Amino acid sequence: MCNSLKMALCLSSFLFVSIFAEVDECKESRCAVQGPSIRFPFWLKDHQPDHCGYPGFKLSCSEKNQTMLHLSHSVKLLVRKIDYKSQEILVHDQDDCRLTQFLILNLSSSPFHFLQENQVDYSLFNCSSTKTDSEFQPVPCLSVPAYPVYAVTSWALIRYLNLSSCLKIHISLPYQTLEPENLFTMNWVKPMCKSCETEGKKCRLKKSSSEEPHTECIKGASKTPMVTGVTLGSIFLMLGVITLYHKYSSNKLERENQMKIEKFLEDYIALKPSRYSYVDVKKITNQFKDKLGEGGYGIVYKGTLSNEVFVAVKILKNFKGNGEEFINEVETMGTIHHVNVVRLVGFCADGFRRAVIYEYLPNESLEKFIFSTTFKNYSLSWEKLQNIALGVAKGIEYLHQGCDQRILHFDIKPHNILLDHNFNPKISDFGLAKLCSKEQSAVSMTAARGTMGYIAPEMLSRNFGNVSYKSDVYSFGMLLLEMVGGRKNIDVTVENSSQAYFPEWIYNHLDQGEELHIRIEEEGDTHIARKLTIVGLWCIQWYPVDRPSMKLVVQMLEGEGESLPMPPNPFTCTR
């Protein structure tokens, strides 16, 4: 009797130990409550023995409880998400000089690979001269004196660039590695645990003596000890359920947010805008707390998707038009990617409410630099102005030509050109944009869109022609002339009334062969000012057919400008 009791006690404690030994050692783990769950093929250093994982899948927890992937001795990446079913891992590089890491990193000896579709977007060039074109993104941490290194998108843009003093460093990087968010996805092929995971089973290393590690698929939970130790088991199960429930309810909100962020990141990487409800938008903007600006078409608020991801949210005012059309259009626009175009990352079409969500750029719009007196001391050099003009032109050209469908912006103006810390321009605000096929020569529109002072004549009256991509060319021309004049084109406050309309004034001066005397300090500047003016005047030709395409504009801006012919007088609408 006594013996059998002892035996039972002994047995149950043995079972207890064995359950925990079996489950504990390689049990799923995390570095933080919200951190990704860690299980085979990954293993967590200092928490699990290495046979819990597959070679090359070592993770560790940082001091801040972030999950880190050890790709090599020196290369550690932060892990945001692990998708066991698709065998993908979303990582983030904490180092400022991300590229150095990739250069020293030899991925061929690691189980991870960049996802193919992300792979060809940036090339690095080691140049022996300084490049000021906006396509050349400096990479200071790789540059040595006299040999600056630049990253260039390997899109069609390269054909425009003068790379004669540059050597290509043969590497192509996912574009995300240069983005401020700096998140990218890698996948692994071996070990193949996909099918195990989708069946809800557990994958683990097969115990074998051979060198090459093999994996096997086992049932999710070990049932046998559960049946024997059923009493014990159910107590622990209950305790577990209670703890889990508590954890769950207190973390539910957090988790929901986390899921939204993950969804956003997935979409972001797939170049697909996320859709948000109005409630989400309210949350993202923290109840519309931080207003960034207001335009004729809506108010822009600053928003936060997570600690690292900031966005600009534009709530469209009085948006007329059909929800489905809106969604189709923003989804298309979300797929575009260009250095000179701000990315659209999400949208909201909730009832009658419409919002568009863009990447947030902390720096100011071109408007501030051209018009505001507080920024005048910051005055942009003519060289810079030229680069900005060229960047904007390339951005618009990309919108017009670079995608399957033509994207017409219809609200090009200094306010909508954002400048980053290197004064690289990015076109923002597609609130009014319209898609049309490239063959289409006319766009039907029910109401005039745009901002006075930049609106093309045909937008106001069809007598002058059809609305088309040439309408953006007009707005660009007006923008160019404002950059030249350093003032609004229409300014009734100037003393001399003949100068009130700047484009006409400057046309008359140029037409009479006069030199330009506007804010010119250096010799070469006259030259740039003249070129920008002539291109601007070509763009604001009254009739759309007389205006150049953006492609031609880019070529004109890139050229020397000496041979540019004087355009006809844009201020007559009789022909």
Q: Is 574 in the site for ligand NAG (CB under 6 A)?
A: no
Residue 404 CA to residue 511 CA, distance in Å, equals: 40
Per DSSP, 51 falls in state G
Q: Is 493 in the site for ligand NAG (CB under 6 A)?
A: no
Query: What residues form DSSP beta bridges with 294?
Result: 299
The residue from 34, 132, 162, 328 that contacts ligand NAG (CB under 6 A) is 162
CB burial of 113-126 (b: ≥16 within 10 Å; e: otherwise) equals ebeeebeebbbbbb
In the complex, minimum distance from the CB of residue 126 to ligand NAG, in angstroms, rounded to a whole number: 4
At what angle are helices 470-485 and 382-397 packed, to 10 degrees? Answer: 170
Closest by Cα among 446, 440, 503, 447 to 469: 440
Asked if residue 123 lies in contact with residue 172, where contact means CB atoms within 8 angstroms, the answer is: yes
Residue 396 CA to residue 152 CA, distance in Å, equals: 18
Token digits for 554?
A: 């880019």
In the complex, minimum distance from the CB of residue 79 to ligand NAG, in angstroms, rounded to a whole number: 16
Token digits for 112?
A: 């991870």
Q: Is 277 in the site for ligand NAG (CB under 6 A)?
A: no
**For residue 300, what are the CA distances in angstroms to 225, 312, 332, 351, 416?**
60, 6, 21, 19, 12
Q: Which positions ≥6 away from 501 have C-beta within 8 Å?
A: 489, 490
Residue type, 494: V
Q: Is 169 in the site for ligand NAG (CB under 6 A)?
A: yes
In the complex with ligand NAG, which residue's Cβ is closer, 202 or 547?
547
Stretch that binds ligand NAG, among 47-55, 164-172, 382-390, 480-488 (CB under 6 A): 164-172
In the complex with ligand NAG, which residue's Cβ is closer, 326 or 375?
375
Q: Is 374 in the site for ligand NAG (CB under 6 A)?
A: yes
In the complex, minimum distance from the CB of residue 143 to ligand NAG, in angstroms, rounded to a whole number: 7
Residue 13 CA to residue 8 CA, distance in Å, equals: 8
Q: Where are the alpha helices (DSSP H) in 308-430?
A: 323-333, 366-371, 382-397
The residue from 86, 129, 132, 208 that contacts ligand NAG (CB under 6 A) is 129
Considering 93, 121, 280, 411, which one is annotated as catalytic? 411
Q: Is 3 in the site for ligand NAG (CB under 6 A)?
A: no
In the complex with ligand NAG, which residue's Cβ is closer, 186 or 316?
186
411 carries an active-site annotation? yes
What Rg do the C-alpha atoms of the chain give, in angstroms?
30
Closest by Cα among 426, 432, 436, 429 to 404: 436
Residue 140 CA to residue 381 CA, distance in Å, equals: 22
Residue 12 CA to residue 14 CA, distance in Å, equals: 5
Q: Is 465 in the site for ligand NAG (CB under 6 A)?
A: yes
In the complex, minimum distance from the CB of residue 16 to ligand NAG, in angstroms, rounded to a whole number: 25
In the complex, minimum distance from the CB of residue 203 to ligand NAG, in angstroms, rounded to a whole number: 26
Q: Is 97 in the site for ligand NAG (CB under 6 A)?
A: no
Q: Is 381 in the site for ligand NAG (CB under 6 A)?
A: no
The residue from 18, 119, 126, 379 that contacts ligand NAG (CB under 6 A) is 126
Asked if residue 450 lies in contact with residue 430, where contact means CB atoms within 8 angstroms, the answer is: no
434 marked among binding-site residues: no
Q: Is 307 in the site for ligand NAG (CB under 6 A)?
A: no
Three-point CA angle 268, 273, 277, nearest 5°:
120
In the complex, minimum distance from the CB of residue 507 to ligand NAG, in angstroms, rounded to a whole number: 12
Q: Which positions ≥6 away from 549 have C-beta within 8 Å?
A: 397, 400, 469, 470, 473
| Secondary structure class of 1 (helix, strand, coil) | coil
In the complex, minimum distance from the CB of residue 354 to ligand NAG, in angstroms, rounded to a whole number: 28
The residue from 13, 106, 195, 569 that contacts ligand NAG (CB under 6 A) is 106
The residue from 1, 5, 21, 144 that contacts ligand NAG (CB under 6 A) is 144
Q: Is 109 in the site for ligand NAG (CB under 6 A)?
A: yes
Q: Is 466 in the site for ligand NAG (CB under 6 A)?
A: yes
Q: Is 172 in the site for ligand NAG (CB under 6 A)?
A: no
**492 phi and psi, to 5 degrees?**
-80, -5
Chain position carrying tokens 């000896």: 109
The residue from 441, 460, 511, 522 that contacts ligand NAG (CB under 6 A) is 441
The interface mask with ligand NAG, positions 398-437, x = CB under 6 A, is: -----------------------x----------------
The residue from 65, 222, 277, 461 that contacts ligand NAG (CB under 6 A) is 65
In the complex, minimum distance from the CB of residue 63 to ligand NAG, in angstroms, rounded to a whole number: 6
Q: Is 149 in the site for ligand NAG (CB under 6 A)?
A: yes
Q: Is 372 in the site for ligand NAG (CB under 6 A)?
A: no
Helix, strand, coil shares, percent, the chain, to 5: 40, 20, 40
The residue from 64, 289, 320, 575 that contacts ligand NAG (CB under 6 A) is 64
Instruction: List, as residue ranges, the binding site.
Output: 314
Residues involved in catalysis? 411
In the complex, the residues that contact ligand NAG under the rule CB under 6 A are: 64-65, 106, 108-109, 126, 129, 142, 144, 147, 149, 162, 164-165, 169, 362-363, 374, 377, 421, 441-442, 465-466, 496, 498
Instruction: List, as residue ranges, the binding site for ATP.
Output: 314
